[in-house]
Chains A and B, each alone.
Chain A
Amino acid sequence: MSEPSPNNPAPAEDAESEPRPGRVRKPIGWSTIIIAVLVAVSAALVWRRDGTEGVLDILTHDLSLFSGILPRVLAGCLLGALISEILPHEKVSRSLGPKSGLMGLLIGTAFGAILPGGPFTAYPVASALLAVGADFGATIAMVVSWTLIGYGRAVAWEIPIMGTDFTLWRILISLPLPVLAGALGRFVYVRLYPKPAAEDDET
C-alpha cells in the first residue's frame, strides 16, 4: 500500500477555537481537502510507477526539505504577528484600505518590492496586512509586486539563470502589473461583495 496518505491535519488545526480579532483561520477548508486528494492521487500514481521505494525516496527528501524550512516559517509567523501588533490599524486601513485609491495600490506595490526574504515572509506579512485593515486590492498589489518585481528572487535566481538583460527587461514590463492587478481586484471585489460586509463572520 502507499502509506503516505495525507497526514490528516484536521485535529491540530482547530486547537484554538476562539477566533482572534481580524485573523480568520479556517480549520480545514476546501483548499486543504482538494490538496489532500491531489496528493493522495499523486502518491498512488508514484507508487504504481516506482513502487514503495519511489514513494519513500520522495518522502525522505521532502521531510528533510521540511525540517530545513521550519525555522524560516517560524520567523515568518513571528514577523507577521509582530507587524500586525505594531502597525496602527486606523492608519493601515486609511492608507491601504478599500478607500485608499491609487495611492494605496502604489504603497502596496512599493512594500512588496522592498520586502526582504522569500515566500515565508511575503505571505505571513500579507496576511497580517489583511488582518489590520488592508483591502484585497492593496494586498493583491503587494503580493503580485513581491513575486514580479521583488528583488529577492531576481537577484538570487533570475539574473544568474536568465541573464541580466532579460531579467531587467522582464521587470520593466512587469512594473505596471501590480497596480493593475490590485485595481482589477478592487473593481471585482466591490461588485462581488457589494456590502462592506463584516469580516468576522466568514467561516
Chain B
Amino acid sequence: MSAALLIDILLWGSVLGVGLIAFRRGPTVFKASLREGAMDFINIVPRIALGVIGSGYIAAIIPQEVITGWLGPDSGWLGVASAVVAGAATPGGPVIGFSIGTVALKSGGGVPQVVAYVVAWALFAFQRVILWEIPFMPARFVWFRCAVSVPFPFVAAAIAMVIGKP
C-alpha cells in the first residue's frame, strides 16, 4: 500500500512540477495542454477498459502450470527460447512474473534461462503491451518496438552465460 502511495505522490508531484513550468510559460499554454491531456484521457479510457477487462479473461485461460512448464529444465538455447515464450505469455503483474522466475531458479532452472525469462517478461509481457503500450503509443511503434526487441532476451542470456552466475 505504501509503495502505491509513494508512486501516486511521485506521479502527481511530477504533474504539478511540469504544470508549474507550463503555467509560467503563460496561461494559454497551460490551458491548452490541460485540455489536450484531458482529451487524451477521454480517448484512451475505452482502450484501457478493453485492456483491463480483456487481459483478465486472457489471463484466466492461461493456467500458470503452462508457463512454468515452458520455463522447465530444458537447458541450452532451446531452454532460452522457451523461456522467452513463457515470459511473453505470462499473465498478471510483476508479482507473478518475478515469483515464477524465483521458483524456476530454486527448482533448478538454469540462470541464463531465468534471465531470458525475466528480460522477455519485461519486454513483451502481453498484458502490459495490451493494457498500456498499445492504448498509449501509436500501434506502428508498438509492433516495431516488439519486433526489434526480439533478439535481446537471447543477448541477455548469452551475456549471462559468459559472465557467469550472480
Query: What is A's interface to B at a CB cutoff of 8 Å?
Result: 4, 6-7, 9, 12-13, 15-16, 20, 24-26, 29-32, 35-36, 38-39, 42-43, 45-46, 49, 54-55, 58-59, 61-63, 65-66, 69-86, 116-124, 126-127, 130, 136, 139-140, 143-144, 147-148, 152-153, 156-158, 161-163, 165-166, 168-170, 173-174, 177, 180-181, 184-185, 188-189, 202
Contact = CB atoms under 8 A, between A and B. Distances in A.
Interface of B: 3, 7-8, 10-12, 14-15, 18-19, 21-22, 25, 29, 32-34, 36-54, 56-58, 60-61, 94-95, 98-99, 101-102, 105, 115, 118-119, 122-123, 128, 130-145, 147-149, 151-152, 155-156, 159-160, 163, 166
Contacts of B51: 35
Contacts of A4: 53, 57
A117 B36 CA distance: 21
Given A7-B50, A202-B140, A148 B123 contact: yes
B166 A165 contact: yes
B11 A85 contact: no
B122 A185 contact: no
A56 to B, nearest CB: 12
B132 A123 contact: yes
A79 to B, nearest CB: 5
B132 A80 contact: no
B36 A59 contact: no
Contact of B156 (A35, A143, A177): A177
Contacts of A24: 138
A69 B11 CA distance: 13
A120 B37 CA distance: 13
A69 B48 contact: yes
Contact of A136 (B29, B53, B141): B141
A73 B21 contact: no
B15 A75 contact: yes
B22 A120 contact: no
Identify which of A69, A119, A123, A143 gathers the most chain B CB atoms within 10 Å of its CB.
A123
Given A78-B38, A123-B135, A185-B148, 12 more contacts: A38-B58, A66-B52, A82-B19, A86-B25, A117-B10, A119-B128, A143-B145, A144-B152, A161-B95, A161-B99, A180-B152, A202-B138
Contacts of A74: 37-38, 41
A70 B135 CA distance: 13
Given A143-B145, A157-B95, A181-B152, A127 B138 contact: yes
